[in-house]
Structure 1
Amino acid sequence: MSASPSRHRVALAVALAGVALSALTVFVHERISADPGYTSFCNLGGAINCDVVLGSRYGRMLGVPVEGLALTTFALGAVLAVPGALGACAGLADLALLGLASASVGFAFVLGVIMAAVLHHACLLCLATDVVIAAWFVTVMPLAGRFDPTLSAAWWSRRGAARTVAAAAMVFAVAGGTLAAVRRPPPATNLAEVRMRDPQFVDWYTGLPVRSLRELTAGEEHAKGPSDAAITIVEFSDFQCPHCAEAFPDLRKLVRSRSDVRLVFRHYPLDSSCNASLPVPLHPNACLAAIAAECAGDQGRFWEYHDVLFENHEHLERESLFRYARELGLDLAAFRVCLDDPATRARVGQDVDVGNRVGVNSTPTLFINGRAVAGKLDRTYYDYALIIEKEGREAHAAKGGS
């Protein structure tokens, strides 16, 4: 069985490129895991967001970071390509190389489907890795044609065996990747389990600064959930902010599914027309959208209008705000008067003033029982945070605290 040294050398070079790219992705993933508020260089906002993909539960398969698996695979592939690159008759090494490259394509396919159909976000680092995998596959696959076509040869040197290994590896990777993706560990139920699963998050979260709820609320804000809830989340948000729009569905589900959580919404538009802490309007429609939400609130429809704004956060010009009001059945004449009333803008300004006093400088900023979290969290981390807060409250009460 002959092998082309040049093809093995290209396969080696591609595998080494995969090692370097995977190592970079591991670094980014570790930063995201260590600091949920971290924003990576490949977070371009909107649907192009490595942080969402790598920080999701699909960033790990069976407890192992996906990019760690890729790093190991590329490193092993580089080792297997060395004998052929040196001109040796590789034999079993080529067979294993074919299996690795094929399995990588199958696994990349599963992760691509997850990004597109489940997460609805794309990771540039992941897509770059997919390109390297595709190049590796195209480079390695012709080696199967160099195996012995006769049945008299040893099984590992037969062409049929090479093709079978390649096909089986791809099928196994697709099936195994799908099974690992749909497998959910049982939810954590106490602080000990949270600490065992993610000690870095516990250390990061418990080290965040805490504000008194009296500094954050005055009792007149828009709120959902029981007034005596064990956990109060005060959200300072901006309707034109992409990260706020990403946080919105998780927070909505959280309040709907938990009877012990109360969500308080406060405006913090990143728009200098109502937020004097900003030199320029980062989100030029954010103030008007906040004012419109207040006007919807005057007609008892704040939360419905709030949901519509986040679902359409890229279209918040004045005409659209009136269209949303009309679709919700609001009194448009009263809505128009309210929208142009300086007193309504002043109400938004009161929220901004509170945000500035407690150190808000980005959106979303969440205060979970007063603990300041800059940026949105993955849904799993919300659950972890609530466990930490609930057990902390219970421990405080057991000591006789109020």
Structure 2
Amino acid sequence: MKTTASKNKFLLLALLTTLIAVGVHTYLTQHYYALKFGGAEGGSVCNINEVMNCDAVTASKYSAFLGVPMAMWGVVTNIVLLYFLAVTRFNMVQDRAKTSRYALLISGITVLASVVMGLISTTMSNLCIFCLSAYALSIIGFIGIWMGAEDVSASNLMNDIKDIFVTERWVGGFLIAIPAFAFLANIMYLESHGFSEIEKVAKEKIAYWQASPQQNFDLSAGLSLQKGSGEPVMTIVEFADFRCPHCKHAAPSLHAFTQSHPDVKLLFKPFPLDGTCNEAITGGGDGISCGLASAVMCAEKMSQKGWATHDYFFENQMEVIQAQNLDKNLEDASKAVGLSADELKACVKDPGTQELIRKMANEGKTAQIQGTPTVFVNGKLLSGGQLIPILEAAYRSLK
């Protein structure tokens, strides 16, 4: 009895870690889809710095296997493992010992996948804390199952595997269910959100992009971001307005894609939907969008905090819109990113700053921008360029 009680404690530990793993993988799955398809409200909660950046990892080519997010594989596999652990721990099967060994085998699969993904992580310049947590949870769970399993031996495990094809076909059914449900869940998501034809759409977008007229942008004006130091193979120019909801959703995807590709450069150019500083907009304006654009350029000029200010305005877009007061927005942004509010306000009102915004907005007007966000790649309009699959298709065509 003491032995059984002790094993139950280890199985309970494995149950808890597996349950947490399901939660972690579920979050990563949701964020994968949001980031890939332009639905993210902002950066991941586990974005800490340029290295510890979950968004960059999510945007990499290693974030999916056979078109299905790695996180989705993790969700389904851990749910199946959770079932095997529960029926073992609470004695809901006739052969507890054999079922505990099947749980060990499934757990071994999660550990193997974690080791492979961990090795891949060492080749990348970015790391994901939640991913690393999932790897650690799989190892802890495996140890718990190992300690809680009964009659574990190489011969027993080999016989158990053989029995899957003879007397224990129900186990084989669960194993087949892992890829079946992973593919099904992925298809259901893509179809329900209108992305089931994304590969076909991407090909069409690339064809239009390649045939588009070349635009000449001033690459020295705007906010620049590039992970690597070499000559970029792909230069993305984004025109956006800080009070545009679609621009808010585009920002995380564009940043993540750029950060996961060292030979890609992102250049952000403000295109305020405000006639105060943008000749392309008729009917005047309240000057707030123009001021926000100026604030970002000033923050970069003052202390290289342009991107921090850019992110602040998008992440707090609703508050920025509701404030309807430029000075309050500037004061709030100054506190958030660590700037002098007075110096920021003075820079925003400087004629030189205002002229810079007009110049960049005029570049958008010349390129005949119809709305925001608008994305150009290597000087040519890329429709849908805020979506990572389309950016990835363009990148592949250039490589």
TM-score normalised to the size of structure 1? Answer: 0.49
Larger RCO of the pair (alpha carbons < 8 Å, separation 6+): 2
TM-score normalised to the size of structure 2? Answer: 0.50
> Over alpha carbons, which structure has the higher Rg?
1
